[in-house]
Structure 1
Amino acid sequence: MNKEEQLLMNFRDLYNKMVWLNKPKMEESLKGYKPSEVHCIESIEKNGDANVTKLAESLYMTRGAISKLTKKLLKKGLIESYQKQDNKKEIYFRLTEQGKEIYKIHEELHKEFQERDKVVFEQVTKEQFDSMLNFVEKYNRHLDAEIKKQSISIN
């Protein structure tokens, strides 16, 4: 196995272990909500003036899937839709008080997991962080370009 394969395998293992460790606590604290719903709530909160297109891009889902998801969230009273004065065509979403509670629980869980794993990050030097961030950003840009190529060839 070459270094590239080893690195990608380690990324997958790392991600899978994080999911395995975090999942029971997430499911218990966010009972009744699917991960896609919670991530949509998170995206609405973090991306001001979120609309179907913006959510589809940030969650790597189709606009049709986002439409279904936002309908569920509207029905559950977690989000509300609105329009801007200068643009009556576009529909945007924001969290309701109930939606903000779900967002808050989710954020607190992430902080708890970060605290659990802090011992590892405390051992990483600034140079190591810079090197890892540089690699991840470079790889991310490459994948963004590949996604863009594929979406152009699909449309």
Structure 2
Amino acid sequence: MNKEEELMYNFRDLFNKIAYLNKFEMEEALKGLTSTEVHCIEAIEENKDPNVRRLAETLYMTRGAISKLTRRLMKKELIESYQKEDNKKEIYFKLTDSGKVIYETHERLHAKFQKRDEKVFEEMDEAQYQAMMNFINQYRNHLDQEINKQNRAIN
């Protein structure tokens, strides 16, 4: 196994372990919702003026998939659409009170999981942190360029 394969294997393994540890509590607290629905709720709450295009960019999904997803969330009465007075063409989304409860539950669970794992990060020294962040940012920039190339090829 070369460096890249080993690193990617270990990233996947790490991600899978985190998902496994979080899964049961998440599923129990957020019954009836898929992880995609929960992440859409999160994106709606955390983006300014979230519309289909902005959500598609944030969640790396197609606009068609976001349209279906937002319709499903509206049917579940977790989000609602609105238009601005100065722009009747564009449709935006916001959380309902029920959607806010889901968002807050999700945030509380993430904080709990972060607390569970904080020991690892407390033991990390500044040089380790900087090396990891440098790698992550370099890889993220590479992936952003690849996504842009792919998007240009599609459009």
The reply to whether TM is greater than 0.5 is yes
1:94 aligns with 2:106: no
1:21 aligns with 2:35: no
How is 1:21-100 mapped onto 2 (pairs within 5 angstroms)? 21-100=21-100
- State the distance in 2 between where 1:138 and 1:86 align: 40
Cα deviation for residue 4 of structure 1 reads: 2.0
Residues paired across the two proteins, number: 155
Find the residue that maps to 2:137 and give its secondary structure. Answer: helix
Counterpart of 1:30, as a letter, is L
- State the distance in 1 between where 2:47 and 2:137 align: 20
Cα deviation for residue 102 of structure 1 reads: 0.1
Cα deviation for residue 58 of structure 1 reads: 0.6
Counterpart of 1:122, as a letter, is E
Cα deviation for residue 151 of structure 1 reads: 1.3
- State the distance in 2 between where 1:129 and 1:61 align: 30
Deviations 1:35-92 (A, max 9, x none): 1110000000111210000001111111001001100111111111111122111000
- State the distance in 2 between where 1:57 and 1:83 align: 20
Unmatched 5+ stretches in structure 1: none
Find the residue that maps to 1:124 and give its secondary structure. Answer: coil
Cα deviation for residue 107 of structure 1 reads: 0.4
TM-score normalised according to structure 2 size: 0.97
Unmatched 5+ stretches in structure 2: none
- State the distance in 1 between where 2:16 and 2:147 align: 23
Counterpart of 2:12, as a letter, is R
- State the distance in 1 between where 2:145 and 2:100 align: 33
1:142 aligns with 2:142: yes
Find the residue that maps to 2:102 and give its secondary structure. Answer: helix
Find the residue that maps to 1:19 and give its secondary structure. Answer: helix
TM-score normalised according to structure 1 size: 0.97
How is 1:99-138 mapped onto 2 (pairs within 5 angstroms)? 99-138=99-138
Counterpart of 1:53, as a letter, is R
What corresponds to 1:2 in structure 2? Answer: 2
- State the distance in 1 between where 2:112 and 2:126 align: 23
Find the residue that maps to 2:146 and give its secondary structure. Answer: helix
